[in-house]
Structure 1
Amino acid sequence: MPSTSSSIPLAVLPGLSNEALTLLFLGLAVVTVLWGFERYRTTFSRMEFGLAVAVALGLLTVAFAPGLYGSIAGLLNLESRFLLIQIFANIAFLVLIFYLVSQLNTSKRVVSDLTRSLTVQQATADADYEDRTLYVVIPAYNEADTIGDVLADLPERIQGHVVQPVVVSDGSDDATRRAADRYDAIVVEHPINQGQGGALKTGFDIARQHGADIVVTMDADGQHPVDQLDELVRPIADDEADYVLGSRYRGEDNSGNSITRRGGIRTFTWLINRLAKTDITDCTNGFRAIRGSRLEELTLTEERFSAPELIIESRKNGLRIVEVPVTIHEREAGETKKPKLGYAVGLARTIFVTWIR
């Protein structure tokens, strides 16, 4: 009986002989290795060169040892070795897709980090306060009609702390920055939209660099009442908490949210309470206060759905979490920037990713 490796024909395409197919696969292998070598000379990426070598070895195996695939196909009870080759090719294709997605995500993170780093350098306000400081970080995306009123209402002091507003205009294409510049605030601009989470991280970096004792976050649309800042900050000032979250469900919700949205907030809040052993009622509220010295302990990566991440990270790092009642109003002007599609999926993903990492 002839040997398996020599008797099983290589030809799987009509009109091509075994010799022609051998040369074809050999040529593809050489081209693949050369491509990998050129990419390595350009980027010095071991991953790209390794993938090219692996694909080339697969092609060489098809060219010179086709019987190997036949033997493996027989062990796996597949009808033909060509089907096995297709399976291997699909696996390799999926690996390449995952690699490309990983590269895209890495590039995106690099751009985001660079954007925020350059933006933080724009903060040039005097930070030599003799008293304790409270930095109010306000992410703003196209909020020229409302940001001025929010800044105008901020008091000079809260709980004995000097108030310093920080407005992060997140790639706005309106007059948000010009409107904020009229007030005594640190105003910086992201050249590229980074999402609310990205804007918060920029504001946190500025507050940390200036030695903020307490950091408050609030929206630029007028939904968060300035007159309730005193009660929001009090638990930290009295050393009863490190993270204070405002709750519309312990207070009043006049935001006009739909029944569906309110139900979703309660569902995700319940999920966080179960996963992180917390006792909160409003997981998406952006009206919060954080002890400045604890900010650097939090690993923050989310650009769009930052509220659950902040809660879970605070819990994982042992921050004392307290919830206080607040009132949430309707927007003073403009439209909500929250995504209508994928919001629930994004929140769920953020909760689970933050919980397991």
Structure 2
Amino acid sequence: MQPAKPNILVIVPCFNEQGAIAGVVRDLVAVRQREGYQLDVLVVNDCSTDKSMDIIRTLPCLYLNLPVNLGIGGAMHSGYRYAFLHGYDIAVQMDGDGQHPADELPTVLEPILKQEADISIGSRFINREGFQSSFSRRVGIKYFRWLNQLLIGKTIHDSTSGFRAFNQRTIAIANNYYPDEYPEPESIVQFGLQGLRIKEVPVRMRHRQEGVSSINTSRAFYYMLKVSLGILFMYFRLVNKRAD
């Protein structure tokens, strides 16, 4: 008898992605059929003000329609709680703007399926193929690489990547607490301090198909400062908790 296939939930946070969300879901459904995954797609509509929710209702996916805008951290926390409460084995985050190609999903899943990691992060900076992000964002990512090395002793090349997969252990931790405003870089420190195995895999990414990033050159320094404070707060809170 073959072992049962893991139940996978792909969580797609969506805020005003009316031009991209249908393509993201349909590409994921195509990968599910091609790879034979036991996979559901959950779109978390973060109180979009465009026609995103009207489109989501027509798509072959599950969805949560949040009554208020929670931001990316709150939207993903909602998705991880759904994954935890419904007993999924693996939860994957993929952006709703079309930046993460669904064809790269098997690459991100592989370390989890092989039980080589608790968290798998799709990185655009290992093979340096595809879209490499803006200059200001790359500067910030290099800074967070240094900060992660300092605080948890791990080198993460793409700490702001929103293309990642969690196993059940990580889902349970994210269900209890997940950072709100800048969850990707902050959660790396959270998971590192909790002894989870983090592995990066090389993926290609595209330019976002819809919307504009909130992190531009003029906001880059403010972003780095604010995220640094959030990371340090989390670091000292968890270190003190372990010491108690």
TM range (shorter): 0.7 to 0.9
Q: Find 1:346's aligned residue among 221, 226, 231.
A: 226
SS in 1 for 2:190: helix
Change (3 A) 1:159 1:322: farther
Once residues 25 and 182 of structure 2 are traced to their aligned partners in structure 1, the CA distance between those partners, rounded to angstroms, is 24
Q: CA contact under 8 A between 1:135 and 1:164: conserved in structure 2? A: yes
Identity %: 33
SS in 2 for 1:353: helix
Change (3 A) 1:172 1:253: farther
Alignment of 1:275-314 (within 5 A): 275-298=151-174, 300-314=177-191
The answer on 1:142 being equivalent to 2:22 is: no
Residue identity in the other structure for 1:311: I
Q: CA contact under 8 A between 2:124 and 2:131: conserved in structure 1? A: no
Provide structure 1 residue ranges, at least 5 long, that are not aligned to the other structure.
Answer: 1-129
Residue identity in the other structure for 2:115: D
Residue identity in the other structure for 2:125: Y
Change (3 A) 1:314 1:158: farther
The answer on 1:162 being equivalent to 2:38 is: yes
Change (3 A) 1:253 1:349: farther
Q: CA contact under 8 A between 1:140 and 1:220: conserved in structure 2? A: yes
The answer on 1:336 being equivalent to 2:208 is: no
Q: CA contact under 8 A between 1:159 and 1:233: conserved in structure 2? A: no
Aligned length, in residue pairs: 228
Equivalence for 1:213: 89
Q: CA contact under 8 A between 1:300 and 1:310: conserved in structure 2? A: no
Q: Find 2:119's aligned residue among 230, 234, 243.
A: 243
Equivalence for 2:26: 152
Q: Larger deviation: 279-288 or 180-189?
A: 180-189
- Structure having the higher helix fraction is 1
Residue 343 of structure 1 deviates from its aligned partner by 1.6
Equivalence for 1:231: 107
Q: Which has the higher contact order (CA 8 A, sep 6+)?
A: 2
TM-score (normalised: structure 1): 0.60
Residue identity in the other structure for 1:224: H
Q: Find 2:194's aligned residue among 305, 312, 317.
A: 317
Residue identity in the other structure for 1:316: L
Q: CA contact under 8 A between 1:272 and 1:312: conserved in structure 2? A: yes
Equivalence for 1:327: 204
SS in 2 for 1:156: helix
SS in 2 for 1:348: helix
Larger radius of gyration: 1
Residue identity in the other structure for 1:315: G
Residue 276 of structure 1 deviates from its aligned partner by 0.8
The answer on 1:266 being equivalent to 2:142 is: yes
Change (3 A) 1:320 1:148: same
Residue identity in the other structure for 1:304: E
Provide structure 2 residue ranges, at least 5 long, that are not aligned to the other structure.
Answer: 238-244
Once residues 45 and 209 of structure 2 are traced to their aligned partners in structure 1, the CA distance between those partners, rounded to angstroms, is 18
Change (3 A) 1:256 1:237: closer
Q: CA contact under 8 A between 1:132 and 1:160: conserved in structure 2? A: no
Q: Find 2:7's aligned residue among 128, 133, 139.
A: 133
SS in 2 for 1:329: coil
